[in-house]
Amino acid sequence: MFKNISKILVKFYIRVFRYVVYKICQSLKTTRLGSIYGGWNFIEDNSFQGQTIISGGCGEDISFDIEFLNLYMGRVILVDPTPRSINHLEKVFDGLGNTKTKDYVEGGNQPISAYDLSKITSDQIEVEEFALYDKNNVTVKFFPPKNLEHVSYSISNWQNVDEETDYQIEVETITVKDIIKKYDIDSLKLIKLDIEGAAENQVLPFMIKEKIFPEQILVEFDELHTSNLKPYLKASKIIFQLLINGYKLIETNKFPDMLFVKKEILKLKNDNE
């Protein structure tokens, strides 16, 4: 009896959560860069020209990052410790200078020839083979996806993989704060977080605590793919904290991918149009 009531309450909360998110989302013109699988929505801004952004979670699809570099000719710091991702990035470096000759594929394993690398140089791409976390230089377990054909590992193990699996790996961690310091980033314009549960569990809470507020935050709340209550409670808290710290939630039509933009950036953009 109690279990049935609990399930009903969880379903009700999830429905309320999704309704509230829908209602508070602001409908604005956004631009989507990248493939169907690895693309992201953001708000274009000329101030991105020549700037450095942080991209957490690469997998085998960095189509957003490559298109962003081609559009703004800045620098991207790619953060991902998974072996297949590192191998993919090595192939990208080998392909620098080459033009795009293939279309993006539907899945997450993009051929290098699907990227336009003709105008991108090696000093525009920095790679950090660490896991983004709320502590620096800590060794953590990285749990594999249930489907081993997929590339993304998870600190939070939100897919409930057997914790004794032989496929887990150990990786070192790094914080957003340390990346900003290392690369001397005066003002972080944009961060993308597609890091399999670590965004909502460690990275965003850490950024809020440290008052690290980029102009735009592109984040996937991975654990909202489940029907468990706890991830929705955590996401509710983070969304509330971002809203009271001056962000607007912008409609992207790809739940649970979310786009948060600072209010003053939206006002400045409106004033200039």
Sequential pLDDT tens for the chain (273 residues): 566 788 889 999 999 999 999 999 999 999 999 999 999 999 999 999 999 999 999 999 999 999 999 999 999 999 999 888 999 999 999 999 999 999 999 888 999 999 999 999 999 999 999 999 999 999 988 777 655 555 566 665 444 555 555 567 788 999 999 999 999 999 999 999 998 766 678 899 999 999 999 999 999 998 898 888 999 999 999 999 999 999 999 999 889 999 999 999 888 777 666
Is the four-CA dihedral 249, 238, 199, 174 of positive or negative sign? Answer: positive
* Residue position matching structure tokens 């009903």: 8
Taking each helix axis as running N to C, give the angle between helix 229-244 and helix 2-24, from 0 to 180 degrees, rounded to the nearest 10: 30
Q: What is the dihedral of CA 232, 158, 195, 21, to 10 degrees?
A: -20
Amino acid at 117: L
CB 84 within 8 A of CB 95: no
Distance CA 254, CA 92 (A): 27
Q: Residue 41: how many CB atoms within 10 A of its CB?
A: 21
Among residues 55, 212, 219, 50, the alpha carbon closest in space to that of 128 is found at 55
